[in-house]
Amino acid sequence: MERSGSNVQMPFKLHTAAMHKAQDPHFSERVRASFARQEAMTLIGAVMPVVEPGYTEIHLPFKPEITQQHGFVHGGVVGMIADSAAGYAASTLTTAETEVLTVEYKLNLLAPADGQLLIAEGSVVRYGRTLIVTRAEVFAVKNGKKTACALLQQTIMSIHGKKEPAVKT
Amino acid sequence: MERSGSNVQMPFKLHTAAMHKAQDPHFSERVRASFARQEAMTLIGAVMPVVEPGYTEIHLPFKPEITQQHGFVHGGVVGMIADSAAGYAASTLTTAETEVLTVEYKLNLLAPADGQLLIAEGSVVRYGRTLIVTRAEVFAVKNGKKTACALLQQTIMSIHGKKEPAVKT
Amino acid sequence: MERSGSNVQMPFKLHTAAMHKAQDPHFSERVRASFARQEAMTLIGAVMPVVEPGYTEIHLPFKPEITQQHGFVHGGVVGMIADSAAGYAASTLTTAETEVLTVEYKLNLLAPADGQLLIAEGSVVRYGRTLIVTRAEVFAVKNGKKTACALLQQTIMSIHGKKEPAVKT
Amino acid sequence: MERSGSNVQMPFKLHTAAMHKAQDPHFSERVRASFARQEAMTLIGAVMPVVEPGYTEIHLPFKPEITQQHGFVHGGVVGMIADSAAGYAASTLTTAETEVLTVEYKLNLLAPADGQLLIAEGSVVRYGRTLIVTRAEVFAVKNGKKTACALLQQTIMSIHGKKEPAVKT
């Protein structure tokens, strides 16, 4: 995609407070604990500072180890945080005994991930008992300016009655 | 996707007036004329009552001829109007000499297309010279209630310097 | 997508005889009967001449009523037959009491649908109890030459214990 | 996606020798040099042992640092190598002065990435001057058995007349 002279428009507000209700009163602790067990997130340096019902944010500070050949953050890493932010948004709405799996996602890269910080904002579009449709946008923050760099649409599946193990299996 | 008891959330406003500027002062006539030449749209009974910069709506009244085996509007027909609404949204922003082609799209079906009227709302997310990223939502209107039934994310390509023929080639 | 001078490669054979086993001995009659109830397929003139375990073909002869503004078959119509061929491929592998729903699909348009006949070849990639991943390719046949014009990747959901009504509800 | 008792079918052979012709006689060195500059690939431990015209393979040995909360390789990491294998497959077919960008991709996760080694096989489906459509499959190799765990469909854009910088910009 040619990137100079582009005109990125993100007209829609993804998240509105109190739009979703959590079933699990401890959803925030549960989601944060699961995120903490994802060693791949530690490897790239991602954190999850925002966890609300139907919404999460993953933040990723720039570091040279996560770049592609031009020094921008690797598109695959952008996909990782978009996928995870959207998937954990789904997880905030399930019961404590439910596990979520990514069935599939589609990612459009809109602009290079060029900035000191990436922010992936994941949100639930449609909550169903078995399938949850989610979205995520990824923004690059450079010198105080926030530019959309990726847009994701995702399908999540709930597996009921399973509990995430406290230790890896 | 289980459909009963679902909880469809469309938190984001896709379209905001004056968000995009049209390059072609006659974009509306141009887009409407192109739509009128799509015989497939006539076949299913679709019309395009709204054409704004970066945004179009396609409306499709229910008729038995466009149904699937359960009597709802066929998912493929839902895809047709979503694809077209988003593609024409892109077309509103190009020059008069530019033609747009759908490169690809991804469609999530959120609920059965059950209603007296379907409305596909297409909008431009990111406008670039060669590639334009768009979205569409399709709503089913039943007894005055508007329910989201599909969500599309699409990539459009601009072909510059070509003019749509007045007659089909 | 620029289309002249293109070099379409379809290296992979989608279907191999006896690759899948049908659970329902009457899958062919069941799938054909469901297809026959899709009035949208009748409207566009599509037929389903091939139904095998994990595989179906939908054929669509050209007619002016299904074209876009350049006289080729409308991309949305191409999507309709791709979606349906892949979805029915999934249906061939389920029990008689199972209903399938399209969760989502992604379609790349590779070349204009320019020919006397379109052939959509749908096949199952991964069969699971709840979710079935499928693919489809659509070819345009022009003067005896078969050219790939679309590629679809799809997720199907099985709803167990429901039976398609003999009459529409 | 429920994973036990699944029946993954990968009926199609993605790659056939001599199916594509490289324009750049030095495509292999060029692609390998670009891959070597992707620090994100070094971070996760991925290598690219196979580079052929229209086809590449990325191999990723298991290590705990790339896992999700259940100890399997993170889906985002699976996406990273699928995206890159397919993108570099496109790059093998361009001129030396052309740069490729991922426009978008869609990934279905078919099974957990459970094994000692992941292999992403990327291949070109349709080569066009501006847009290249590609695919990738990712397999998990466990105790000598190769199981498909992801399927990707991707759109790549060529930017002509640019040369990848020898040093990052």
Compute the average pLDDT of residues B42-52.
97
Average pLDDT, chain A: 88
* Average pLDDT, integer, range D33-55: 96
Predicted pLDDT at D12: 40
pLDDT of residue B163: 56
Give the model's confidence band at A136: pLDDT under 50 very low, under 70 low, under 90 confident, else very high.
very high
B137 touches chain C (CB under 8 A): no
- A4, with CB counted inside 10 A (0-12, 13-18, 19+), is exposed
State the average pLDDT over residues B58-64: 97
Task: Tell me the count of A-B CB pairs closer than 8 A.
Answer: 106
A61 CB-side CA count, 13 A = 5
Asked if residue C137 lies in contact with residue C129, where contact means CB atoms within 8 angstroms, the answer is no
Asked if the Cβ–Cβ distance from A20 to B12 is below 8 Å, we say no
What pLDDT is stored for residue D161 in this prediction? 81
Q: Contact B66/C39 with Cβ under 8 angstroms?
A: yes
Query: What mean pLDDT comes out for the span B136-155?
Result: 96
Listed by number, the residues of chain A in 67-106 with a beta carbon closer than 8 Å to a beta carbon of chain D are 67-71, 73-77, 79-81, 83-84, 101-106
Predicted local confidence at residue B8, as pLDDT? 46
User: Which residues on neighbouring strands pair with residue D55, listed in sequence order?
Assistant: D52, D123
What pLDDT does C69 receive? 85
Residue of D12, D14, D157, D167 whose CA lies nearest to D91: D157
pLDDT value, residue A161:
81
CA–CA distance, B97 with B95 (Å, rounded to integer): 5
Partner residue facing D157 (CB), from B104, B106, B131: B131
According to the model, what pLDDT value does residue C164 have? 52
Show residues of chain A in contact with D39, CB under 8 Å: 64-68, 74
Residue at C5: amino acid letter: G
pTM assigned to the model: 0.88
**pLDDT score of A163:** 56
- Residue in the block written with tokens 């209700």: A21
CATH class of the C17-160 domain in this structure: alpha beta
Residue in C13, C108, C124 closest to D133 by CB? C108
Q: What does the pLDDT look like over B114-139, one tens digit per residue?
A: 999 999 999 999 999 999 999 999 99
D34 touches C: beta carbon within 8 Å? no
Instruction: Please tell me the distance in Å from B21's CA to the nearest CA on chain C.
Output: 25
N-to-C CA span, chain D = 42
Rounded to whole angstroms, the Cα distance separating B118 from B82 reads 10
Rounded distance between C-alpha atoms, residue A24 and residue A37, angstroms:
20
User: Cβ A155–C157 below 8 Å, yes or no?
Assistant: no
Rounded mean pLDDT, D50-75? 95
| B107/C contact by beta carbon, under 8 A | yes
Q: What is the largest CA-CA distance in chain A?
A: 50
Amino acid at B132: I
Sign of CA dihedral A58, A62, A63, A66: positive
Could you tell me if residue C5 is left (phi over 0), alpha (psi between -120 and 50 degrees) or otherwise beta?
left
Q: What is the predicted pLDDT for the residue at C162?
A: 60
The answer to whether A155 contacts C155, with C-beta atoms less than 8 Å apart, is: yes
Inter-residue contact B104 to C106 (CB < 8 Å): yes
CA angle A122/A127/A131 to nearest 5° reads: 95
Nearest chain A Cα distance for residue D79, angstroms: 6
Strands B55-61 and B117-127 turn out to be: antiparallel
Residue of D nearest to C154 (CA): D108
Is the per-residue pLDDT at A120 higher than 60? yes
Could you write out the DSSP letters of every residue in C58-113?
EEEE--GGGB-TTSSBPHHHHHHHHHHHHHHHHHTTS-TT-EEEEEEEEEEE-S--
- For residue D149, what are the CA distances in angstroms to D85, D117, D135? 15, 12, 14
C-alpha to C-alpha distances, D139 to C44, C143, D26, D42, D67, nearest whole angstrom: 39, 40, 28, 20, 16
Strands A131-142 and A55-61, how do they pair?
unpaired
Question: Is the CB of residue C83 less than 8 Å from the CB of residue C154?
Answer: yes
Do C134 and C123 contact (CB within 8 A), yes or no?
A: yes
Burial of A45: CB neighbours in 10 Å, binned 0-12, 13-18, 19+? middle
pLDDT for the residue numbered D162: 60
Of A88 and C69, the one with more pLDDT: A88
CB contact under 8 A, A1 and D83: no
CB contact under 8 A, A130 and C157: yes
Q: Kindly list the residues from chain D whose CB atom is less than 8 angstroms away from the CB atom of residue B104.
A: 104, 155
Mean pLDDT, residues D10-23 taken together: 59
Amino acid C161: pLDDT: 81
Window from B32-41, B98-107, C16-25 with minimum mean pLDDT: C16-25
* Inter-chain Cβ pairs, chain A and chain C, closer than 8 A: 15
Residue A104 to residues A136, B107, D109, Cα–Cα distance (Å): 13, 12, 6
- CA–CA gap between residue B123 and residue B136 (Å, rounded): 6
Tell me which residue has tokens 């829609």: A12
Q: Is the model's pLDDT at A50 over the cut of 90?
A: yes
Q: Is D116 helix (H, G, I), strand (E, B) or coil?
A: coil
Listed residue (D156, B155, B48) closest to C69, CA to CA: B48
Terminal C-alpha separation, chain C = 41
Between chains, do C1 and D130 touch, taking CB under 8 Å as contact?
Answer: yes
Q: Which helix (H) or strand (E) holds D106?
A: strand D99-109
Residue A91 phi, psi dihedral angles, 5° rounding: -65, -30
Residue B169 has pLDDT above 70, yes or no: no
| Subunit contact C74:B66, Cβ cutoff 8 A | no
Kindly report, residue by residue over A91-111, the tens digit of the pLDDT. Answer: 999 999 999 999 999 999 999
Distance from CA of C3 to the nearest CA of A (A): 18
Could you give the 3-state DSSP secondary structure of residue B17? coil
Q: What is the pLDDT along chain C (169 residues), one digit of tens a residue?
A: 333 334 444 434 444 444 799 999 999 999 999 999 999 999 999 999 999 999 999 999 999 999 988 899 999 999 999 999 999 999 999 999 999 999 999 999 999 999 999 999 999 999 999 999 999 999 999 999 999 999 999 999 999 986 555 443 3
Mutation pick from C12, C151, C157 vs chain D, by most beta carbons of D within 10 Å, is C12
Alpha carbon distances (Å) from C153 to A16, A30, B103, C36, D137: 32, 33, 15, 24, 13
| D80 vs A69, A76, A105: nearest CB | A76
DSSP D74: P
pLDDT tier for residue B19 given thresholds of 50, 70 and 90: confident
Subunit contact C130:A157, Cβ cutoff 8 A: yes
State the average pLDDT over residues B22-40. Answer: 96
For the cut 80, the answer to whether the pLDDT of residue D17 exceeds it is: no
CA-CA distance, D50 to D47, in Å (whole number)?
Answer: 9
Q: Which of B130, B155, B157 has the CB atom closest to D104's CB atom?
A: B155
What percentage of chain A exceeds 90 in pLDDT? 80
| pLDDT, tens digit (0-9, with 9 covering 90-100), for A6-40 | 444 443 444 444 479 999 999 999 999 999 999 99
Those residues with Cβ within 8 angstroms of residue D33's Cβ, 6 or more apart along the chain or in another chain: none
pLDDT higher than 80, residue D1: no
Once rounded to an integer, what is the mean pLDDT over residues B101-112? 97
Strand partners, C64: none
Whether the predicted pLDDT of A132 surpasses 70:
yes
**How much is the pLDDT for C168?**
38
